[in-house]
Amino acid sequence: MDLTQFIYKNETIGQITDSDAFNVAFGVDANFVPPMGIMLTSMVMNNPQTQLHVHVFLNSILDEDVARLKHFVSQYPNVQIDLYYVNVEVFKNFSVGKGYTVATYHRIIIAQVLYPAVSKLLYIDADTLCVGKLTELNKLTFEDNILLAVADKGEWLAQHKRDIGIAESQTYFNAGVLYIDLNKWNQYSLSDKMIDMLNSCHLSFQDQDALNLIAGTQIKAMPVRFNQFLLMKHDNDDLPEDTVFIHFAGQVKPWQPWCDNPQRAVYDEYRNKSLWKEFDYRPRDYQENRLMGKAARRQGQLLTALKWYYLYAKDKLMTNA
C-alpha cells in the first residue's frame, strides 16, 4: 500500500539549509495545534542552536493557527515547518476511543511518507513539553531495532497485556515519544501491518497496542527521562533534573481549567511565553461542562459556574434522550 496517496496537500513554512537538521513529527487535528505550538515553543527555547525540521501531519487546522505558525517561524529562523494534510478516509474503519481523535492514527503513516528523505526522526505527542536538549537523543543507538521508546507503567498494565495477548515477560511501550529508524520501519512494512491489524480488530489503546503487538520485540527501551510521565491527577513529585520530555499522559491535561496538579505551573510557564497563551479550551461533552463548572466555582466565579452547570444539565438530557 502506498500511503503517500493519503497526503492530499503540503505546505511549507520557513526554510532551513542544514541537511543534518533534527527531524520532529506530530500528528494532530485543529484541537491539538495550540498544545503543539506550546510544545514547539518549549523545544526551541531549550534548543536555540539546533536546526529543527518539523513535520506536522494533520486533518484540520484553523487559519489563525496557520498564521501563528508563520509568525513562530519568523521568530525562530532555525525552524522549518512542513504541514501534511491527511485524507482521513484511510482511517474511516478504525475505532476511536474516549479522549482520542482520528489524529492518533497519523503517526502510523509518518515513517512511510517521509522515507527516504528522512532517515530518523522523533515522533512526539502534542501533550508534551521539551525541557532538555534534543542532542541527548543522538547519544542513543538503535542497534538492530526499529525504534526506541519508554516502557509504559501503571497498575492496569499487567491485565491489559493479558487482554491483548502480549506475554507477561514482554515490555509494553508507550507510543507518545518514539525515536524511529525509518529505514528499519519500512523494511518491516510496519505501516501496512498496523493498518491491516487496525482494520480487522478493536484495540483499547488503538495504534499503541498495534505497535506493541506487531513490533514490540523490535523496540529498544530508552531511559524514562525521554518520556517522563505525569498523570495529572496523581503525580506531585518534582521532575528529575535530567528530564528531556515531560508527557502529560492520562485524560486530564494541563490546559484544561479543572487541572489543579502543581506540575501545571511548568506547562503554564511555556504557554505564557508562546503565541498560544490565549488558548481557550472548550469542553467536548457534558461531563466536561460539569468539570468546567467545578473549576469556575473553585476560582470563585459563581455566575460562570452556574452557566456551565446549566449547560451540563441541558447537554446531559439531550445526550441521554
| Contact present, 143 and 221 (Cβ < 8 Å) | no
CA separation for the pair 21, 294 (Å, rounded): 45
Strands 79-86 and 7-13: antiparallel
**pLDDT value of residue 311:** 87
As given in the structure block, the three cell numbers for residue 147 are 525504534
User: Is 3-229 a domain of CATH 3.40.190.10?
Assistant: no
Distance in angstroms (rounded) separating the CA atoms of residues 179 and 222: 9
Calpha distance 210→207 (Å, rounded): 5
Cα-based torsion angle of the residue sequence 172, 175, 181, 183 in order, rounded to the nearest 10 degrees = 90
**Residue 113: burial class (beta carbons within 10 Å; 0-12, 13-18, 19+):** buried
Give me the residue label for grid cell 451540563: 312
Q: Give residue 252's pLDDT.
A: 83
For the whole model, what pTM was predicted?
0.92
- Please tell me whether residue 16 adopts helix, strand or coil conformation: coil
Going residue by residue through the chain (321 aa), what tens digit of pLDDT does each one get? 555 578 999 999 999 988 889 999 999 999 999 999 999 999 999 999 999 999 999 999 999 999 999 999 999 999 999 999 998 887 877 776 665 677 888 899 999 999 999 999 999 999 999 999 999 999 999 999 999 999 998 888 999 999 999 999 999 999 999 999 999 999 999 999 999 998 888 888 889 999 999 999 999 999 999 999 876 555 556 788 899 999 988 778 889 888 877 778 899 999 999 999 999 888 888 898 898 888 888 888 989 889 988 888 988 888 876
Q: What are the sequence ranges of the domains in the chain?
A: 3-229, 282-321
